[in-house]
Structure 1
Amino acid sequence: MTVHIDEQYVVTLLQKLLDTPSPTGYTHHIIDLIREEAESLGFPVTFNEKGGAIISMEGEADDYTVGLSGHVDTLGAMVRSITPHGTLKLTSLGGFAMSSIENEYCVIHTRGGRTYTGTILTQHPSVHVYADARDFKRSEEHMEVRIDELVSSRADVEALGIRTGDYISFEARAVVTESGYIKSRHLDDKASVAALFGLLESAKREGWKPKRNVKILISNYEEVGHGTAYIPADIAELIAVDMGCMGDDLTCKETDVSICAKDSSGPYDYHMTGKLIELCEAQQIEHAVDIYPFYGSDASAALRGGSNIRAALIGPGVHASHSMERTHTRAVIGTARLLCAYVRA
C-alpha cells in the first residue's frame, strides 16, 4: 500500500516550527511544541538529559530498532557583552557567515523571561557617515545589536534585564509561495522535522505500522556538533534527516530529496544508501546523490560518540544553507514519502 502524506498538515506544522525561536541551547519552547504534537497523534515521547525528544513508534516486529533523527535547534547568537553606548556585542551559535545576518531583525531573550526586539548591524552601518561602510569587514567583532528601546548606555541596557549570556534569535520570515516554494531561515532543519511528522501523521491517519520499531530523535544541539552523540542503545541503524545542499558540482535541486553518500565524517553505510536510492527509483521520488565535504550530521555525531550503528543521511534540498534558505514542498513531501517507504520495507 502506498501511503499518503498530507501536504497541508506538513506545511502548516513547518510554519509553526519556523515561527518558534529555537537557537541552539534555547530549545525548550519548541521541544514542548514537539511533545504536544506527537502526543496529539498518539505517539509517546520521552527525553534525554540534554532535553532532546524521543518519539516511539511500535513496529510489526521488535528484533531491532530503526532510528530517524532531525534537529530543531537553529543558528543564532548570544549576548557577548554590552557596549558603553548601549548596543550588544554578540557571539555566534553555529557556523554562518556574518554577512548573512547583517541587517536582520532579531529578538533578545532574557533569563528573566522578557523579550526585546533589535536589528543586527555592523559598527559602520551608514554609507553617509563611514567611508568604508561597503568594505568594512563583516566579522563577529564588528557586529552589534541595536536594541529597540530607549537606551544609550550599559546601565540603560542592564536596567532592561539584559545580561551577558542571553540568547538572540533571528527572525525566520517564513513565506510559502503559490508555486510551492518555502523560503525562510532555519529550514535547516525544521523542514526535515516537518517531514518526520508527515510520517507520523500518515501512520496515525491511515493506521499503518512500520516493519520494525522506530525511534524518532529530535535533537537540540546539532548545530554545535553533539545533537545525537548519545542515542538509545537499541537503535541498530540511524537515518539523519537534514537538509540537502546545492551549489557547484552538486546535482541536488530544491525539489529533490538529497541522499548524501559521504560528508566530512566519511562515507555513509553502503547498503542503507543503496536501499534509499532503490526506494526513490521504485516510488518515483525526485532525488539526487551528492557528496558534502563541509557537512556533518546527527548521524556523524552518533558514530563519533561510539554508537554501534549503521548510518545514512537524507533530506530536502535547500538553497543558500545557513543564510536565507529556500526549499520546495515537493522536496519536503518527497522526504516524508521516502522515510515511510524505508520503515515499511
Structure 2
Amino acid sequence: MTYQPNTKETMQLIQILTEIPSPTGNTTVIIQKIAEYLERLNVTYTKNHKGGLIATLPGENKAKHRMLTAHVDTLGAMVKEIKADGRLLLSLIGGFRFNAIEGEYCRIETSSRKTYSGTILMHQTSVHVYKDAGTAERNERNMEVRIDARVSSAEDVKKLGIGVGDFVSFDARTEIVEDEFIKSRHLDDKASVGMLLRLIEHIQKEKLSLPYTTHFLISNNEEIGYGGNSNIPEETVEYLAVDMGALGDGQSSDEYTVSICAKDGSGPYHYGLRKHLVALAEKEEIAYKVDIYPYYSSDASAAIHAGNDIIHGLLGAGIDASHAYERTHKDSLYYTEKLLYHYLFSEMVEE
C-alpha cells in the first residue's frame, strides 16, 4: 500500500485547530469541533468524563487492539489576581516560562464565556520609566495582562465580569509560509491531532480495513500529566503517543524528519516497538531520527505510570522552540503522517 500525505491540506487543518483556544481545563469547544469532524466521516466516538474523545475504527483482529493518542490541550493560564491598577496577574498552566509569552496577545474568557483581548507584559516594560526594564525577573509578580478595556482599578475589572480563575489563552498567530513551514503556538500537540484526523479521514473515505481495531484518543489533560492515563480498552496491546519531537542542543531531531523517541524523562519506551517503527521507516524510505528528550513525558508514559499493561511508544514531527512560538516543516509532517499510516497497517510487535 502506498500513501502520499497531502501536507498542504494537513497544514490547513492544523491552522484551524491552532486558532481554537483550548488551554488545559477549557477544551470543550475544540473537542466538540473534532466530534463534528468525525461525525461527517461517520466515525464512532465516545467522550470520557475528563472531556477527552475516543474515536474507534474496527479492525480485522478484535481480540488485540491498538490505541494512538494526541492531545488537544495547550499551555495557557488563569487569572490569579486582579491588581489595584486593573492589571491581571497569572497562574500558568503547563510547563513553560514567563519569558516565552512576554509581549504575546491573549484572550481572557469569563465564566459567562464573554471574552476580552489583552497583552502579556512586564510591569516594568517602559524603558523610559524603569531602569530595570531589561533585567527585572520575568515572574508571577512582574508579568501582567493589560486588558484592552478602559479600566484603572480592580473594581473596573470586576464590572467586566473578569474574576480569579478565568482562563487566559495565548494567540496562536499561525502562519503557513509558502506551503513549506508552519509556525504557530500550540503545534504541540495540534500538529499531531491534525495528522491523526487526516489519517482517519483517508481510511474512512478509501474504505480501508485495519488489521486491528484501533482507538484514537484525543486527550485533553496531557500538559498537566494525566491526559491519556485512563479509558484504555482492556484489549489494547500497543499504545502509541503522537507528540512533538523536541529540538535543541544535543538533540538529533530536526524539522525535516519524523522523530522516534527512545527515552524521555519517564524512562525508556518499549524497545521492540521502537525497533518496529525504525524498521518501518527504513522499509518505506521515511526519513527519521531516533532521539532522547531529557525534560519530557507523554500520554504514553502517563498510561504506563497508571499501571496499564501495554507496549508503549512515542513519535512525532520535529518542532522547533517547544512551548514557545513553534515551527515545523512540511517534510516532518509528511514523514510523520506516512510512518503513522504504515504503522496502522503493520503487524503488532512480538511481546
TM range (shorter): over 0.9
Shift of 1:141: 2.0
- CA 1:179–1:31: 2 relative to 1, 3 Å: closer
Q: TM-score, normalising length from structure 1?
A: 0.98
What's the counterpart of residue 141 of structure 1?
Answer: 141
Matched residue type, 2:187: L
Are residues 1:247 and 2:256 paired?
A: no
Q: For each residue in 1:139-186, what CA deviation from the matched residue of structure 2 results, as whole angstroms up to 9, or x when unmatched?
A: 122110000000000110000000100000000000011151010000
More off after superposition, 199-208 vs 30-39: 199-208
Matched residue type, 1:296: S
What root-mean-square deviation, in Å, do the aligned CA atoms of Structure 1 and Structure 2 show?
Answer: 1.0
For 2:140 and 2:243, locate their aligned partners in 1 and report how far apart those are by CA, in whole Å: 27
Say which SS state the counterpart of residue 198 (structure 1) adopts. helix
Are residues 1:191 and 2:191 paired?
A: yes
More off after superposition, 41-50 vs 68-77: 41-50
Q: For each residue in 1:86-105, what CA deviation from the matched residue of structure 2 results, as whole angstroms up to 9, or x when unmatched?
A: 01010000011111100100
Shift of 1:343: 1.2
Contact 2:89 2:141 in 1 (8 A): yes
For 1:14 and 1:89, locate their aligned partners in 2 and report how far apart those are by CA, in whole Å: 30
Task: Give the number of aligned pairs.
Answer: 345
Matched residue type, 1:10: T
Say which SS state the counterpart of residue 120 (structure 1) adopts. strand
Shift of 1:113: 1.4
- CA 1:179–1:44: 2 relative to 1, 3 Å: closer
Shift of 1:9: 3.0
Matched residue type, 2:303: A
For 1:128 and 1:341, locate their aligned partners in 2 and report how far apart those are by CA, in whole Å: 58
Runs of 5+ unmatched residues, structure 1: none
Residues 191-340 of structure 1 aligned to structure 2 (within 5 Å): 191-232=191-232, 233-340=234-341
Q: For each residue in 1:11-68, what CA deviation from the matched residue of structure 2 results, as whole angstroms up to 9, or x when unmatched?
A: 2211110110000000000000111111212211101110000010111221211000
Shift of 1:286: 1.4
For 1:9 and 1:210, locate their aligned partners in 2 and report how far apart those are by CA, in whole Å: 23
For 2:193 and 2:124, locate their aligned partners in 1 and report how far apart those are by CA, in whole Å: 38
Shift of 1:248: 1.1
Q: For each residue in 1:311-340, what CA deviation from the matched residue of structure 2 results, as whole angstroms up to 9, or x when unmatched?
A: 000000000000110011221222111111
Say which SS state the counterpart of residue 140 (structure 1) adopts. coil
What's the counterpart of residue 62 of structure 2?
Answer: 62
Deviating runs (4+, > 6 A) in structure 1?
Answer: none
Q: For each residue in 1:250-307, what CA deviation from the matched residue of structure 2 results, as whole angstroms up to 9, or x when unmatched?
A: 1111011110000011100011100100111111111100011110000011011111
Matched residue type, 1:212: Y
Contact 1:78 1:165 in 2 (8 A): yes
Residues 72-91 of structure 1 aligned to structure 2 (within 5 Å): 72-91=72-91
Contact 2:63 2:235 in 1 (8 A): no
For 1:47 and 1:319, locate their aligned partners in 2 and report how far apart those are by CA, in whole Å: 32
More off after superposition, 128-137 vs 329-338: 329-338
Runs of 5+ unmatched residues, structure 2: 347-351
More off after superposition, 2-11 vs 17-26: 2-11
Are residues 1:26 and 2:21 paired?
A: no
What's the counterpart of residue 49 of structure 2?
Answer: 49
For 1:36 and 1:10, locate their aligned partners in 2 and report how far apart those are by CA, in whole Å: 17
For 1:42 and 1:7, locate their aligned partners in 2 and report how far apart those are by CA, in whole Å: 23
Shift of 1:205: 2.5
What's the counterpart of residue 115 of structure 2?
Answer: 115
For 1:204 and 1:70, locate their aligned partners in 2 and report how far apart those are by CA, in whole Å: 19
What's the counterpart of residue 182 of structure 1?
Answer: 182
More off after superposition, 8-17 vs 297-306: 8-17
Contact 2:179 2:330 in 1 (8 A): no
Give the share of equivalent positions with the same residue, in percent. 47
For 1:179 and 1:204, locate their aligned partners in 2 and report how far apart those are by CA, in whole Å: 26
Say which SS state the counterpart of residue 296 (structure 1) adopts. coil
Q: TM-score, normalising length from structure 2?
A: 0.96
For 1:108 and 1:179, locate their aligned partners in 2 and report how far apart those are by CA, in whole Å: 32
Q: For each residue in 1:69-93, what CA deviation from the matched residue of structure 2 results, as whole angstroms up to 9, or x when unmatched?
A: 0000000000001001101010000
Contact 1:231 1:307 in 2 (8 A): no
Q: For each residue in 1:127-149, what CA deviation from the matched residue of structure 2 results, as whole angstroms up to 9, or x when unmatched?
A: 11100000010112211000000
More off after superposition, 198-207 vs 166-175: 198-207
Q: For each residue in 1:107-140, what CA deviation from the matched residue of structure 2 results, as whole angstroms up to 9, or x when unmatched?
A: 0011111000000011101111100000010112
For 1:255 and 1:40, locate their aligned partners in 2 and report how far apart those are by CA, in whole Å: 32
